[in-house]
Amino acid sequence: MKQPLMRWFDSDVGYSFRTSPMAIVAALIAGICVFCAVFADFVAPHQPFDLTTLVLSDARLPPAWQDGGSMKYFLGTDDQGRDILSALMYGSRISLLVGLASVVLSVLIGVGLGLLSGFAGGRLDAFIMRVCDVMLSFPSILVALLIDGVGKALWPNAHDLLAFSVLVLAISLTGWVQYARTVRGSTMVERQKDYVQAARVIGVA
């Protein structure tokens, strides 16, 4: 583990990162956000989903630095008295999970189809690229509405799971195209190199 980390640290990317104060600050902020999301049960000052801890008299309080604010609720409260800072920490869990799942699914679809398209070529390549063009013509919101409508018709009682699946699929089905085109281009370049041609001549590929 130490050797790959040191190799990355000595690489061009590592050098650019450690010599850029803005990149370091951004990485620290992102790390803090991820830490607060993962360990929200221990870091969050309040439990926004525990109705027994809500105080309606504390509803709609401004942030702590404004008049009428309180350090007890650093970012203020909503109309039900829930701490906004704690709600953000807990809510960011879903946001991170949706983002991670949608990117993983987009990469799996895009890389797989990009490799197939670039390696096979011909009609299959043309078909996959036309599918990419069609997918780019549909906004994510229309794809989400379509998936939501079909999902509600098939599973009318799966509310939370359906909402999560709709978000992941809507982002993935419109995000895989960029990965597919990038991998296709790299595959087509690699396919024309000498070692690939030599492998074909000797019957290996």
Report the pLDDT value the prediction gives residue 158, as an integer from 0 to 100: 66
Report the pLDDT value the prediction gives residue 190, as an integer from 0 to 100: 84
Report the pLDDT value the prediction gives residue 114, as an integer from 0 to 100: 92
Report the pLDDT value the prediction gives residue 34, as an integer from 0 to 100: 92
Helices (H), the chain: 2-9, 12-18, 21-38, 40-43, 84-120, 122-136, 140-154, 159-191, 194-201
CA distances for 103 relative to 144, 145, 189, angstroms? 16, 20, 25
* pTM, entire model: 0.75
Yes or no: say if 131 and 173 are a contact pair by the CB < 8 Å rule: no
Report the pLDDT value the prediction gives residue 2, as an integer from 0 to 100: 55
Tokens of 166: 């709709």
Condensed to tens digits (0 to 9), the pLDDT of residues 3-34 reads: 776 776 777 777 788 888 898 999 999 999 99
Report the pLDDT value the prediction gives residue 191, as an integer from 0 to 100: 81
Condensed to tens digits (0 to 9), the pLDDT of residues 77-86 reads: 888 888 889 9
Report the pLDDT value the prediction gives residue 112, as an integer from 0 to 100: 93
Yes or no: say if 30 and 22 are a contact pair by the CB < 8 Å rule: no
- Residue 77, SS3 per DSSP: strand
Report the pLDDT value the prediction gives residue 147, as an integer from 0 to 100: 77
Stretches where the chain sits below pLDDT 50 are: 1
- Residue 69, SS3 per DSSP: coil
- In the block, tokens 């895009």 appear at 110
